[in-house]
Structure 1
């Protein structure tokens, strides 16, 4: 079960929640962990009644943005693609100017925007978002790498506001023990929340959607 630990040191955002401006949530994780599929699920789940937009990051292409548009999860004016031309975490942690510009463009063109999902390009376990870019960050790993991944730690696993262990439907096929992943994730993260997810079995990403809605409910109006 997900628990609310928004007041823990890791969960406290340094970017202020300004009334009338959207909540920014970063979604990072290794290549192939299911970040874009999760973003698509959140767009579908949150888009009914909320103003949602997305900024994607790819090194040399707009592949993730094009995936979202092909699947019709948002109108084209609600999706912006950033081509980083460098290591993905550079654009979300070190030089965030391109992402800030994309977010501000969305804000200026979409009155009433509630949330902007900022998807990192596929990176490794060291990827984290600048707290000047996002209010909260989700880190996505999957079972395909084996049940040792949470034990390996890294800033993404240990400090993200929410850890998502994705593709649990594949656990039996790759010999991953979910109980081991659960134990090691909690050992690494302490009281910070985590959840298991299979978008095959739960296409609405219910626990992640609920977590985002809780963060949105706390935004000043």
Structure 2
């Protein structure tokens, strides 16, 4: 099975190439010639016993009420019991499953063939990448810190821009965070928090 350009092309709201939301780990494994072999696989949820031991080690730094609140928050907002993270391609690709269904994927910058349409995501033409993301999102992106979210496309990119004042600016290539750029896709994307809209289109 030989990789093609389509295998590393973003499919808005659906996934990356043949990695579509909802497919099973076995189906991903069948694509290992394209997306690399799994190098690790681990459950995301901390066991109750480990969590209890960790809180106990905090001793008197937390009140009993704070400890109970912490346990309650983790019970309500922590990872699903079925959540599993899998690392492939020597760390270049990270996948997360729930109930044996692909629900999230992250690609690191060394996968230079990743594209949105005809635009290479990890090229140095950041405005072109953001314009392409807006096009498949059919709306301006949402920006917070170093994250840019495109909710309709189920897409988020990190390290391309930084918003420290009102509008985001392109991250300097000399900034170490630029070298650590990543692209993530989510079956369900969360943009709660301090996200603001901004467009890179030049009408």
TM-score (normalizing by structure 2):
0.29
Q: Which has the higher strand share?
A: 2
TM-score, normalised on structure 1? Answer: 0.28
- Structure with more contact order per residue of length (Cα contacts < 8 Å, sep ≥ 6): 1
Q: Which has the higher helix share?
A: 1
